A and B are shown apart, each in its own frame.
Chain A
Amino acid sequence: MEKERHILVVFPHPDDETFAAGGTIAMHAKNGTPITYVCLTLGEMGRNMGSPVFANRETLPLIRKEELKQAARVLGIQDVRLLGYRDKTVEFEDRETLVAKIQAIVDEIRPSLMITFYPGYSVHPDHDATGAAVAEAVSRINPEMRPKLICAVFSKNCREELGEPDIVYDIRPVREIKLAAMQCHATQTQLMLADLETKLKHHDPDLMRRLTEEHFWVYRFHDSSR
């Protein structure tokens, strides 16, 4: 894995950083690379309130904000920036305003690598809208000056249309860190990580997949040869 100068991660929800790129982030952090995470919303519209119920629609954002802080600490992200959008509404916001906010952060940080969702292949409308705004912000930079932009995907058709991933990271060396970060996002992972011991012992395929590899596609800018 190439050593980066500074990594800028942009996702819409607390936990996207962990699920989509937690292992990758942890490996870069171990390498000493500073990482900034720009998180657009607090996942205010999440559904998991726990059983017994431990959250409600009004307390969920506060809980998820704390979960994010803990997960960031575990992954080695020192700089978390919350943009204050509301879950589910990113695609309806003024696009130019969002692009400008991301551009300002890119200008300030001058990252060598950026990570987001691939627009059009990321299932949740917030994911696609975030990826599209990031791609637009980066596309406005002179091609020679652009940071690398790599994208996680979600959709079932992504391999048919985008091909095999450009980057496959073996994240087994930081498996424990990613798992710990997933556990930090308790509101989101309580159901998935129920019976964790059993799942680990029996190599539950869904859990093992998440703890073994992370896949990224290099964003294809319209003006580049890729």
Chain B
Amino acid sequence: MEPVDVRMVQEKLDGFAGKNVYIHLETTNGAYAAHRNEGFFSAGAFIRNARIRYKHGKIAGAGPYRIGLKMDAGWVYAEGITHFEVDGHGRLLLAGHDHQGRLAVCLELSETPFDE
């Protein structure tokens, strides 16, 4: 992955607009956060291979970045995005990593399903 290039991410978001796309959306603080730090309230969520269609999508902010995808009846939102990649399958992979390279948020879009 590379540090976010706003123009390239925006182009890719535009390219998926109006299409049926598969989404992976995730936030995590790590499986051991509460084990290592007892006062820590551990929370996280992921959804993988939900199929959505958005009317338009935007990348915003000065870095780390925010992404918003406006659907017919709702929104997809992610913040803390630092890195991106368009992989060999034409998928848009976006992630936010902390200073030690640990993933905290992840948003991925693909026209074909991700591996289960």
Contact = CB atoms under 8 A, between A and B. Distances in A.
A156 B87 CA distance: 42
Given A57-B24, A58-B87, A123 B35 contact: yes
B100 A191 contact: yes
A58 B84 CA distance: 12
Nearest to A191: B100
Nearest to A127: B31
A123 to B, nearest CB: 5
Interface in B1-34: 1, 24, 26, 28, 30-32
Contacts of B35: 123, 154-156
A47 interface: yes
Contacts of B93: 56-58
B101 A49 contact: yes
B interface, how many residues as a size bin? 20 to 34
A51 interface: yes
A214 B71 CA distance: 53
Contacts of B91: 58
B77 interface: no
Contacts of A191: 100-101
A50 interface: yes
Contacts, number: 64
A33 interface: no
A123 B26 CA distance: 21
A48 B31 contact: no
Given A45-B46, A47-B28, A56 B100 contact: no
A53 interface: yes
Interface in A150-169: 154-156
* Centre residue among A45, A48, A88 by max chain B CB count within 10 A: A45
Interface string A50-77: 1111001110010000000000000000
Nearest to B33: A47
A51 B83 CA distance: 12
Given A47-B28, A58-B93, A53 B100 contact: no
B108 interface: yes
Nearest to A194: B100
12 contacts: A45-B26, A51-B99, A51-B101, A56-B83, A56-B93, A57-B103, A57-B106, A58-B93, A88-B31, A124-B31, A190-B101, A191-B100
Interface of B: 1, 24, 26, 28, 30-32, 35, 46, 83, 85, 87, 91, 93, 95, 97, 99-104, 106, 108, 114-116
Given A49-B103, A53-B1, A57-B103, 16 more contacts: A45-B31, A47-B28, A47-B103, A49-B102, A51-B97, A52-B101, A56-B85, A57-B108, A58-B91, A58-B93, A86-B116, A88-B46, A124-B32, A154-B35, A156-B35, A190-B101
Closest 9 CB pairs of A and B: A51-B101, A47-B102, A53-B1, A47-B103, A50-B101, A124-B31, A56-B93, A57-B106, A123-B35
Interface of A: 45, 47-53, 56-58, 61, 86, 88, 123-124, 154-156, 190-191
